[in-house]
Each structure stands twice: as structure tokens, then as C-alpha cells.
Structure 1
Amino acid sequence: MRRLPIFLCVDVSESMAGEPLMQLQKAMESIVGQLRQDPHALETVHISVIAFAGRAGMIVPLVELMSFYPPRLPLGGGTALGEALDEVMTRIEVEVKKTTAHQRGDWEPIVYLLTDGRPTDRTDSAIRRWRKHFASRAHLIAVTLGKGADTQVLQQLTDDVLSLEGSGGDELARFAQWVTASVAAQSQALDAGSAAPGISLAKAGDAGISLLKAGEGKPPEDDQVVVLTGRCSKSRKPYLLKYQALDMPDVLGSFGGQAATGVYGLEGCYGLEEDYFDWTAERTAPATQVNTNQLEGVAPCPHCGAATTFALGRCDHLMCCDGPGEQTCPWCDMEVNFGPGSSDGFDIGRGLG
């Protein structure tokens, strides 16, 4: 049986923390659950998952639909799009069967690339390699989530760049329905012995997904998200603080989305696993600083419930604190004595997003 390989290449960078990552997980589960109800898809569809943040890696090899179980998606700092493309090309080379004199190879693989940010690594070499060696043997569909994705880079990679206005539950649910319908139609045509029609983008608009034409994309908005990493002073477990740019009123009192004012509101504080650091890129330059006076809202610790996640250890890393007194920094093990709260702001290195 000739297989229809589907590669899901998903952005799990820090800006996806919280609701977006949870909804992406649900969308993946929905796609698999709905496809399993289609007998044609069960015969042909095989799925693989590649994740990328500051690093990229395969988290599920190419397996038949019935054996596929959606994995827990990791989270990391950075958006290594170039590395993700290299991983996709490696997986296609290794896992997709080619037609030979003795066997019929797999059908043309389909790659769904979902991202919400700008690349933090070099992409030129990977894009050239894709266009030269893979664009003619695989169908890549790039899908942007929200306003922060670099559509201009994606349009260098493929003509099929789709845009979702946000990364919430409704948008990703519609995306999942469209992917399911598209893949099911492809598998049915293949099962009937028809020539492979390819994934049609004609009905994407019905699902609330817009196709971006060449040159139509805009540069991503700068400084929309601030992410900060800390550790619980009791359990030493890491957490991530996520702030979104606030629209500030202009001199006439209207709201114009002036993100350049640099004021950010708290979206949430999320407990992390230690593998967060495995998926985070090593810094090659000093971290960009943000002042705490630019940040609105402080969250309690998601691990121990301490009142604030905004205490600063001697090593200039964030930790949680439940009041004045001496504590041991969970990063550097040095003692630090916290006094009463102060309104003075301080600079802190922000994450890669």
C-alpha cells in the first residue's frame, strides 16, 4: 500500500505559551480523531510531528494513522525556522519511500508548517535547499498564527501561505476542520486510483483562513510579546511569565495600537518542564532588556503559590518570593535578603519569544 505522508511542523516557541499551545494540541488531536473516522485515510495516511523553538526536532516519526497518538508539545525560547526546515527535509529523505524499479514509492508528502513568529536563526540556506531539491516532490503549506509571523520569509519558501488572524480555539478548530477535509479528500482520490489532485486551498476561505498573495504580507509587528523565565524558590521548577503589548490611548484619548509605547499587560504565568531548556536556543548576544515599570501585573508562583514571581536573585535571574526575609536563589544557590517591596523598576533580560 502506498502511503500518504503528512508532516506537521509546529512552532512551540515561548510566544505560544498558555492558550495558543493548548489549542494547538487540541487541533492536532481533532485532526487525528476525525481522520480515523475515514476508512480511506486509515488505509493511506501516515503522520509525523516535528516541533521547533530555539531548536528543532522530530517528536513523532512517520507512523500509520491508527498508531499515531498526539504527543505533549514542548516549549522553548527562539524560533529556529531554518533548523526546522532542515529537519523536515531530513525526515522526507529518510522516511518517505521513493519509487524504484522494484517498488512503488509513497505519494507526494504534505507538510503543514505552523508558526507565529519571526525566525531567530538563518533561513537562507534551508530555503534555497528546499526550493531546489524538495519543492517539486513535496507540497508545503505555511500557516501563520496571529500578527507576529514573518510572512515575507515564508513566501520565499512556498506560494501557499495561509493566515489565521489569531491562535485561539476558534481559529485553530476551523484550521483542524479544513486540514481534515483536505487530507480526507486527497486520500479518497488516491484510494480510488485517481491521479493525486494535491491539497486544494480553494475552501480555506470557508474555514476563515486567508491565502496571502505574493507581496501581500506585512513585516511582523515588533515587540508584541515579552516573555521572562524564573524558578520557584521552593521546588526549583521553572516558570514562564508572558506579557502582551497594550494599546495605549493617544493624546486625543483614542486607542491606536501604539505598541511602540512599550507597555505590556500580564497574560499569564505558566509552569515549565526542565525540557524547556533543551528546546531553547543558546544566546549569541546579550539579552534585550525590559524594565519592570513597563510591565503591568504580577502573577503568583504556579508551583508553590508564592505571592510574587518577580524577585531578583543575585545572579539577576527571576525567582518567586512570599515576603521579606532571606531566601536561597534556585538558580545560583546564593542567599539573598529581600526587604519590603519597592516601586523602583529594574532591568531584566527578556526571552527570545
Structure 2
Amino acid sequence: MRRLPIFFVLDVSESMAGEPIAQLQSAMESIVEQLRQDPNALETVHISVIAFAGKAGMVVPLVELMSFYPPRLPLGGGTALGEALDELMTRIEVEVKKTTSDQRGDWEPVIYLLTDGRPTDRTDAAISRWRKQYASRAHLIAVTLGGGADTRVLKQLTDDVVALDSGGGDDLSRFAQWVSASVAAQSQALDMGKSAPGISLAKAGEAGISLVKDSDSAPVDEQVVVFTGRCHRNKKPYLLKYNAVSVPGNFGAPAGQGVYGLEGAYPLSEEYFEWSSEGGAASTVSSDQLEGAPPCPHCGAVTSFAMCSCGKLMCCNGPGEQTCPWCADTIEFGKGGGSSFDIGRGQG
């Protein structure tokens, strides 16, 4: 039987830390659960997952719906959209069966690309290759999460760009219902011998998912800042995430610069660095722009926002001598309250 390949290309950059990536995980589980209730989908649908942060990679190869289980999504620094597209094109070449004199190939693949930010790598060559070699034989739908995605780049890739305005749980729940219904309708039509109807963007509108217009411009990606630190006791990494807030007076932050309120501190594994792009931070943020310093999510030290002379963050349990978990230097922390300092932020 001819297969209907569905590829999910998911942004797992560090700006997705916390609730967003948990909600995306839940949405994937909901899509699979709903599709498994449709006998036609069980016969034809095959699913693959590609993730991208600073690096891209296949997380799940193309497998039949009944054998597919939503993977635990990784997290990394950076948004390597160009690399993700290269990985997608490789997987299509390797895994999607072509029609030959001996066999009928798979149906046209459907790709859902979800992202919440701007690319941190070069995308021109990958987009050009996609449009020349793949756009006519696959249907790619780009989905933006929140207001930080670069819709101008996505519009170069596909005309079908839709927005989940908040990128929150309700939006992703509606997205999961729309994907499930659309894929089920596609598989039913194929089972009845009809030509593939394609994924209906009109149905997306009915689900409260808005179509991005050509006039939409690229946003300024200043909604989220993230920092990576290590626990001074066990050297385990963690991520601090701050969201832009609108407040009068800027709390003393330099004029014209944003203020960010703490969302949370999240423990990481070393896998985070495997999915992160190499190189330094994209830019710096002044400590005056930040509100809130949480305890260490690993050891509970009073603050996770102490900085070594090497420029890296670590946790600290008060004044005294400590060893930096990054560079192993011994440093003396005072009582605090000194002047502001600049911190290298993650790439998002």
C-alpha cells in the first residue's frame, strides 16, 4: 500500500524551554492519539520527526503510525533552520519511495515546520534548493509559535505560513486537532481512490489558526533572553529564561533597552550542548535589564546568577570562595550589590 509520509520539523531552541516545549510534546501525543482512532490513517500514515536548535537531526525515522511514539524532545542553543531543511531533504530522498517501473511510490509528503524564532544559520542555499527540487513534490506548511518567528524567511520557503499567535497550550491543542483532522481527511480520500485533496488552510482558519499575509514583516526577536549556567556543586548545566515585560521607568535599565522578567530556571543535561551551535553568545544583556535571580535548580543554592571572571554563569550560596564549574578557577564572591555587568545571552 502507498504510504502518506508526514514529517514534523520542530524548533527545539532554548527559547522553547519550560512550558512551550512541554506543550509541544503534548500536542504531538494528541495528534498521534487522534490519528490512531482513524482506520484509514492507520493504513497509510507514516510519521517522522526532525528537531533543530543550533544543530539539526532526525529524532524518529519514517515509521508507520501504529509503531510511532512521540519522542522526548531535546533542547539546544540556536535556530539552525537551514540545517533543518537540509536534513529534511535528505530524509525525503532516503525514506520516501519514488514511483518506478516496478512499484508505485508514496503519496506526496506533508511537512509541518514549527518555529518560534529567527534562523541563526544561513538559509539561502537550503531554501533555493527546496524551491527548485522539492516544493513541487511535497507540501510544506510553516507554523509560527508566538510573535518572534521570522515570517519573511518562512515566506521564501512556502506560501503556506500560519500563525499560532500565543504559541500557548490552547493554540497547540487547536493545532493538534487541525492536523489530525486534515491528515485523516487526506488518508480517507486516498483510501477511496481519489486524488489527494491537500491540507486545507481554510480549515486552519476555522480552528483559529491565522494565515500569515505577505505584508507581515520580520519581528524583532527581543521577546525572550536565555542564559546557560552550571551548578558549582555537581557541574550540571541549567538554563535561565527571561521574558520581555512592559514596565514604566525600565527599573534603571539603560535607556532604549528592554526589561526582562524571570520565567524560570530549568535543569539541563549535557545533551543540550550536543544540540547547540558552536561559538559565542549572540549578544549581551546588562544585569540591570533583568528582574529576578532564582535559586539553582540542581542544588538549591541561593542564586543561580553568579558570574565567574571567565564570563560564565554559576550558582552561588553566598559570600566566600568557590570553584568555577566551567574553568575550574577559584573565585571570591562578595556580598553583592555592586555595579551592573554584561552577560552573554543565548541565541534563542
TM-score, normalised by the number of residues in structure 2: 0.96
Counterpart check, 1:269 vs 2:268: no
Cα drift, residue 250 of structure 1: 7.6
- For the structure 1 residues 211 and 287, does the alpha-carbon distance in structure 2 shift closer, same or farther, using more than 3 Å as the test? closer
- For the structure 1 residues 286 and 238, does the alpha-carbon distance in structure 2 shift closer, same or farther, using more than 3 Å as the test? closer
Alignment partner, residue 133 of structure 1: 133
**Is contact 2:118-2:221 (8 Å) kept?**
no
Q: Structure 1: 5+ residue runs without aligned partners?
A: 252-258
RMSD between aligned alpha carbons?
1.4
Alignment partner, residue 243 of structure 2: 244
Alignment partner, residue 172 of structure 1: 172
Cα drift, residue 16 of structure 1: 0.6
Look up the equivalent residue of 2:18 and give its one-letter code.
G
Alignment partner, residue 223 of structure 1: 222
Cα drift, residue 343 of structure 1: 4.0
Cα drift, residue 314 of structure 1: 3.1
Q: Secondary structure of the equivalent of 1:342?
A: coil
Look up the equivalent residue of 1:48 and give its one-letter code.
S
Task: Show CA shifts across 1:157-177 (max 9, x none).
Answer: 111000110121101000000
After superposing the two structures, state which structure 1 stretch, 303-312 or 330-339, moved more.
Answer: 330-339
Q: Secondary structure of the equivalent of 1:265?
A: strand
Look up the equivalent residue of 1:298 and give its one-letter code.
A
**Aligned runs of 1:274-353 on 2, under 5 Å?**
274-283=270-279, 287-353=282-348
TM-score, normalised by the number of residues in structure 1: 0.95
After superposing the two structures, state which structure 1 stretch, 341-350 or 194-203, moved more.
Answer: 341-350
Task: Show CA shifts across 1:207-237 (max 9, x none).
Answer: 1101123x22222123221110000111211
Cα drift, residue 260 of structure 1: 4.7
CA distance in 2 between partners of 1:156 and 1:282 (Å)? 26
Q: Secondary structure of the equivalent of 1:261?
A: coil
Cα drift, residue 288 of structure 1: 1.3
Alignment partner, residue 256 of structure 1: none
CA distance in 1 between partners of 2:248 and 2:309 (Å)? 37
Q: Structure 2: 5+ residue runs without aligned partners?
A: none
Task: Show CA shifts across 1:78-99 (max 9, x none).
Answer: 1111110111000000000000
Cα drift, residue 326 of structure 1: 1.4
Q: Secondary structure of the equivalent of 2:202?
A: coil
Alignment partner, residue 207 of structure 2: 207
Look up the equivalent residue of 2:329 and give its one-letter code.
M
- For the structure 1 residues 250 and 337, does the alpha-carbon distance in structure 2 shift closer, same or farther, using more than 3 Å as the test? closer
Look up the equivalent residue of 1:185 and give its one-letter code.
A
Q: Secondary structure of the equivalent of 2:136?
A: coil
**Is contact 1:141-1:158 (8 Å) kept?**
yes
- Where does structure 1 differ by over 6 angstroms across 4 or more consecutive aligned residues? none
Cα drift, residue 123 of structure 1: 0.7
Alignment partner, residue 155 of structure 1: 155
Cα drift, residue 48 of structure 1: 0.3
Q: Secondary structure of the equivalent of 1:42?
A: helix
- For the structure 1 residues 131 and 287, does the alpha-carbon distance in structure 2 shift closer, same or farther, using more than 3 Å as the test? closer
**Is contact 1:229-1:351 (8 Å) kept?**
yes
- Identity percentage of aligned residues: 74
Look up the equivalent residue of 1:297 and give its one-letter code.
G
**Is contact 2:322-2:330 (8 Å) kept?**
yes
Counterpart check, 1:144 vs 2:144: yes
**Is contact 1:248-1:261 (8 Å) kept?**
no
Q: Secondary structure of the equivalent of 2:182?
A: helix
CA distance in 1 between partners of 2:226 and 2:237 (Å)? 13
Task: Show CA shifts across 1:255-303 (max 9, x none).
Answer: xxxx9532111111111111110111112x6641111111001111111
CA distance in 1 between partners of 2:282 and 2:335 (Å)? 28
